[in-house]
Amino acid sequence: MAAAAVSNELHAREVAEALNEVKFTGFHLRAIITAGMGFFTSAYDLTVIGTAVVLANMEWHASPLMIGLVTSISLAATVLGAFVFGTIADRIGRKSVYGIEAVLMTIGAVGSAFAAGPISMIIWRSVMGFGIGGDYPLSAVIMSEYANRENRGKMVGMVFSCQALGFLAGPVVLLTMLAAGVSHDLCWRIALGLGAIPAAAVILLRRTMPESPRWLARAKGHGAKAARDLAWYSEGTVMAAGADRKIREPLSKYVLALIGTAGAWFVLDYAYYGNTICMPLILNHLIPAHTHNAMLISTAWNVIIFGLFAVPGYVCAFMFCDKLGRKLVQMVGFAMMGLLFLLMGVVPGLSGAVAPFLILFGLSYFFIEFGPNVTTFILAAELFPVNQRATGHGISAGVAKAGAFLGVFLFPIIQNSLGTNGILVFSGGMAVAGLILTAICIKEPAGKSLEETGQESGWEPANRKLPLGMPVGAGV
């Protein structure tokens, strides 16, 4: 009965158009949680590794080069993971590999917790980084392909904003254990191992999630199966007729968009990591090295700064990017980042004035989140056709993490030659480059269907006026 109703052209819309017009409902929320847990995990890992390595090195006594590799190797692995998983997902399907990256993150977290030294830590963090890289294109694309036209930016933005919870959870976990007097060796192992829990929690959800209906119907031409899977996953909320037509757009048609998404994300990640690296500069002003429990206090300040400035930025981003437009939010964010970095870098004596510097630093965090950190993730999931969407996002995310990797390694070189102020000015220049790339290369996707933003040939929205939520098997 259900299959007959789903395949009945008189009672349903095409899969893509049905998804475009359906209102936000329970299956959307389930998809957000399923996808968002990966970003919670990656953000949690990013915030705990710095402190974890400091604690671990009290026992290891490793060289600065080795410690640098431990803290940054996952970024290099992320580049490879984004490229590989993105390409595979467009060739054999999102469902075929969705969940594998969560398994890799789980294994990497557990292995890191039991690492005997820096070499084994590098190996396990490479495994984790490869999984994190794969999570970027898969989670972004799957969420965008389940999202509706009206709230797509909010839904994809909410997935990425789970990162904010991870950024808060990391310091809170460390703060709790340090305050409780947990031994340093046990503290860093527990902190790293806990990263396996959120990743493992969604493996089953990801493996049982049906194939993306848009990819199945429009990239593979299996419209009837896509319609049946969609009806099952949405519990009858979205009824559609499957049109069997394949989309075969070449990626070369989207070079300008790819330059915009990859280039803007690259300079954002360089500047973002530059911002993060500046955190010790602030803490050195606030907490003299001889202060009792300096590590505990600095971790507490990390929570305060991120909670006051970055978290509201995430919320504003996903709440307003559909109304204001992704392109405008990204351009304003880059402009404000550039201005704030330049002010911190060129105003004489500002780096020695704790309160003003702290305010500007916090505001830069706000505009990174209410700006390109969220929108670059969304745009890369919207501006490519269904048969190239994961590949385009994977390339963009991979290039971005290469920027993050370079930001980490170039920091000491630029600092030695230009000083801390020079680093801030350079990061400000990168933000200006992001502004220019966005203005020239990005077309606004807000309010349009994925098929329109991806410029898919032959796309004609259905003109049927039948309600989307009709019961399975309902009559005319």
First-to-last C-alpha distance (Å) of the chain:
15
Predicted local confidence at residue 246, as pLDDT? 74
Please check the confidence at residue 474 and state whether its pLDDT lies above 50.
no
Q: Which residue has the higher pLDDT, 252 or 356?
A: 252
Query: Percent of the chain beyond pLDDT 70?
Result: 86
Predicted local confidence at residue 69, as pLDDT? 85
3-state secondary structure at position 3: helix
Predicted local confidence at residue 469, as pLDDT? 39
Predicted local confidence at residue 278, as pLDDT? 55
R_g of the chain, CA atoms, integer Å: 23
Is 99 within 8 Å of 151 (Cβ atoms)? no
Predicted local confidence at residue 470, as pLDDT? 36
Please check the confidence at residue 475 and state whether its pLDDT lies above 50.
no
Query: Percent of the chain beyond pLDDT 90?
Result: 55
CA distance 244 to 221: 4
Average pLDDT, the chain: 85
In CATH, 11-240+254-453 is 1.10.569.10 = no
Mean pLDDT of 275-298: 60
In degrees rounded to 5, what are phi and psi of residue 205? Answer: -60, -40
Is 209 within 8 Å of 94 (Cβ atoms)? no
Which one, of 12, 470, 442, 10, lies nearest residue 213 by Cα? 12
For residue 417, give every residue at least 6 positions away whose Cβ sits within 8 Å of its Cβ, in sequence order, or none. Answer: none
pLDDT single digits (tens) 207-219:
889 999 999 988 8
Q: Give the predicted TM-score (pTM) of the model.
A: 0.87
Q: How confident is the model at residue 287 (pLDDT cuts 50, 70, 90)?
A: low
Please check the confidence at residue 236 and state whether its pLDDT lies above 60.
yes
Predicted local confidence at residue 303, as pLDDT? 80
Determine whether 420 is exposed, middle or buried from the number of CB atoms within 10 Å of its CB (0-12, 13-18, 19+). Answer: middle
Predicted local confidence at residue 190, as pLDDT? 96
Q: Which residue has the higher pLDDT, 372 or 204?
A: 372
Which of the residue ranges 186-200, 265-279, 289-303, 458-472 has the most confident prediction, judged by mean pLDDT?
186-200
CA distance 350 to 344: 6
pLDDT single digits (tens) 447-468:
999 999 998 877 766 544 433 3
Which one, of 402, 404, 459, lies nearest residue 427 by Cα? 404
Give the containing element (helix H, strand E) for 13: strand 13-14
pLDDT single digits (tens) 291-309:
556 667 767 777 888 889 9
pLDDT single digits (tens) 422-443:
888 888 999 999 999 999 999 9
Q: How confident is the model at residue 417 (pLDDT cuts 50, 70, 90)?
A: confident
The residue count of the chain comes to 476
Q: Enter the DSSP assignment of 92.
A: H
Predicted local confidence at residue 2, as pLDDT? 43
Predicted local confidence at residue 286, as pLDDT? 56
